[in-house]
Amino acid sequence: MDFKLSAEDTKFRDELREFLSKEWSSRDFDAHSMNVWSYDFDNLDAREHAKEFQNKLMEKGWWTMSWPEEYGGQNAPISKQLVYSEEMAYNDAPAGQPQGNVAGAIMIHGTDWLKKNFLPGMQDNSIDWAQGFSEPNAGTDLASLQTRGVEDGDDYVVTGQKIWSSGSHFANWYHVMVRTDPDAPKHRGITYLVMQLKDENGDQMPGITLRPLYDMLGRRRWNEVFMDEVRVPKRQLIGEPNRGWYAAMTTLNFERTGIESAARLIGVLDRFIATMSKTKFNGESVLDNPLVRHQLADARITLEADRMLAYRVAWMQAKGEVPQAEGAISGLRALQTAKFVFWPTLAKIIGPYRSLLKGEERAPGNGMYGTNYALSMTTGFGGGGGLALGPNIIAQRGLGLPR
């Protein structure tokens, strides 16, 4: 393994750093999250600010740099993508497309019609996607989903309920798994569709009803999505009928890599240390406390180890290998570190101040540390329950243990 950046990648990194220092500021928005775009989640000004920055990424040609050239991307080498992800993540810059992971499934499994009609809208950021996989009785056990899709002429008629659809009140399109063959074994009767949620005027499409779900800080983060006889043309199918499970797993695999996680938290840690260096609790400088210094050093060491694991995954990908077990280890570590090490460490250091939220005078980091500690409780559930499923994947694909 050689983790040293090439001269070309180093030059690109320097260019990115200069660009970010000029063009990106999170202003007073809370720009951090597992998905940056979800921060200040229900704040329309924050979303607008993110989109303005994303337009600049498009002007630079970086927005879809990782896409194959035939779809308008640059087929950027893995090392360049890694540098890009890390620099953006370190600065909490909103470089990722919300639910943009469906692009991979469309490129790999989609028809020419799907590619022609959906990839350009992702390139110019005009499509806002939501993901409709989870149901009240199908979370980690996703293949138990019950939403029905019944063939009727050129359409599927879809009826059922989804839950936890992040940001679906902003979305105009939905990628959604439905059961089309109730008699087949559960993984084999599922079809993967794209469904319009809003029309051109921003009105909800016929048969669609959203019911808001709020996170523990009161932000509207998800919705339950009810579908009542929604007609979806068959040309909007990704992959083959009843083989949707496999196409949808392509989407989840793109979601689960999360190579930039360590860089993102290292950025938070550096900014946290800068804030704490100017902070006193009970008249004493926070960083003068040796216990605090040890806790911060431990967190940094953990993050560096995670970063090396992520680099290893990228290095294997660059050689054309498929790092299934290694990717699962790296992904699982990223979740464990965030949930069990990183945010609890910061929360412990700021103690009761963590309950002060944005806008409150004494809230460290304008409330972002306390907020993210609270929200880290959900880490590991999103993305299909990675914290629960990661060990299973490692056991089966890494250690060769039976299912």
Ligand X SMILES: Cc1cc2nc3c(=O)[nH]c(=O)nc-3n(C[C@H](O)[C@H](O)[C@H](O)COP(=O)(O)OP(=O)(O)OC[C@H]3O[C@@H](n4cnc5c(N)ncnc54)[C@H](O)[C@@H]3O)c2cc1C
Site membership for ligand X, residue 133 (CB under 6 A): yes
Distance CA 204, CA 207 (A): 8
Site membership for ligand X, residue 139 (CB under 6 A): yes
Window contacting ligand X (CB under 6 A); options: 119-127, 132-140, 233-241, 306-314: 132-140
Contacts for 382-389 with beta carbons within 8 Å, 24 or more apart?
A: 382/34, 382/166, 383/252, 383/255, 383/256, 383/258, 384/133, 384/140, 384/142, 384/252, 384/255, 384/256, 385/139, 385/140, 386/256, 386/331, 386/332, 386/335, 387/332, 387/335, 387/336, 387/339, 388/140, 389/140
Site membership for ligand X, residue 146 (CB under 6 A): no
Compute CA distances 338 → 46, 118, 202, 252, 309, whole Å: 24, 34, 36, 20, 15
Q: Contacting ligand X (CB under 6 A), which of 117, 275, 324, 378?
A: 378
Site membership for ligand X, residue 374 (CB under 6 A): no
Site membership for ligand X, residue 381 (CB under 6 A): yes
Site membership for ligand X, residue 250 (CB under 6 A): no
**Measured from the CB atom, is 292 or 328 closer to ligand X?**
328
Q: Contacting ligand X (CB under 6 A), which of 134, 261, 345, 376?
A: 134
Compute CA distances 298 → 3, 131, 248, 263, 301, whole Å: 22, 36, 38, 16, 5
Window contacting ligand X (CB under 6 A); options: 78-86, 278-286, 299-307, 375-383: 375-383
Interface with ligand X in residues 147-166 (CB under 6 A): 164-166
Window contacting ligand X (CB under 6 A); options: 8-16, 50-58, 127-135, 288-296: 127-135
Which two structure tokens, joined as six digits, stand for 382?
């999103």
Interface with ligand X in residues 307-366 (CB under 6 A): none
Distance CA 332, CA 266 (A): 17
Q: Contacting ligand X (CB under 6 A), which of 131, 191, 372, 376?
A: 131
Site membership for ligand X, residue 132 (CB under 6 A): yes
Output the residue with the shortest Cβ distance to ligand X: 139
Q: Contacting ligand X (CB under 6 A), which of 382, 390, 393, 394?
A: 382
Site membership for ligand X, residue 94 (CB under 6 A): no
Q: Contacting ligand X (CB under 6 A), which of 77, 233, 241, 385?
A: 385
Window contacting ligand X (CB under 6 A); options: 18-26, 53-61, 69-77, 130-138: 130-138
If binding means CB under 6 A, how many residues of this protein chain bind ligand X? 17
Residues that bind ligand X (CB under 6 A): 131-134, 139-141, 164-166, 378, 381-382, 384-385, 387-388
